Amino acid sequence: MGPKRRKPIPEEALAYIHRIACMQMNLSDAYMFLACLYSDDTTMTSFGAYSQDKASVKWFYAKRILAYITERGNKVCIPEIQRPEIDTQGCIQCAIDILNMENELTEILHDLQDVALTVKDNTTITFTKELIYTQRRNEDRLALEIVELRRKEKLAQEEDDKNKRRLKGTRKKPRR
């Protein structure tokens, strides 16, 4: 006898699970882009490395979700995946765009949990609880990183302004 197959995922919940897998892939791509923005050596030790790690983790979650779908005996049917629309103007704005994507993913996870409760799919409820817990931690950590990035940017700007004022004051006056 082969491994015991679980009951297939109800169609109502399956659409949400496919969307979650797509969002995880999009987030992986967005985090990789953010890591590339922080590719210089000084920042790679902190936020750049964090972003690169999150890209790998998000891709792993997407694969895990796809495995869950096939494990339950359903077929994977992912819609066309578009590149995430993130702002390339600045690193902080890009991180904020990713945080918004993370918030959207959390909403989809909560919707999936509601549907799973409605159709009484206990396996999906358990699976979703784990994802929501991890997702909440991810959002909190990214929000803290954004606050820290803003603080560092403000300090760098103040230092820059201070240096400009200092250079202005040390200009030699022309001789007459």
Query: Is 135 within any annotated ligand binding site?
Result: yes
Is residue 97 situated within a structural domain?
yes
Residue 173 is assigned to a structural domain of this protein: no
pTM of the model: 0.81
The answer to whether residue 90 is domain-embedded is: yes
User: Could you tell me the pLDDT band of residue 164, with boundaries at 50, 70 and 90?
Assistant: confident
**Locate tokens 């009484």: which residue?**
120
**Is the pLDDT assigned to residue 41 strictly greater than 70?**
no
pLDDT tens-digit readout, 90-106: 778 888 889 999 999 99
**Could you tell me if residue 28 is inside a domain?**
yes
Q: Is residue 118 part of a domain?
A: yes
The pLDDT tens digits of the residues spanning 106-142 come to: 999 999 999 999 999 999 999 999 999 999 999 999 9
Domain count, the chain: 1
Q: Find out whether 105 and 24 touch, Cβ atoms under 8 Å.
A: yes
Comparing 90 with 50, which gets the higher pLDDT? 50
Q: Which residue has the higher pLDDT, 165 or 31?
A: 31
How many Cβ atoms sit within 10 Å of the Cβ of residue 61? 22
Distance (Å) of CA 105 to CA 71, 109, 124 = 22, 6, 16
89 annotated among ligand-binding-site residues: no
CATH of the domain at 52: 1.20.1260.10
2 falls within a domain: no
Structural domain boundaries, residue 104? 11-168
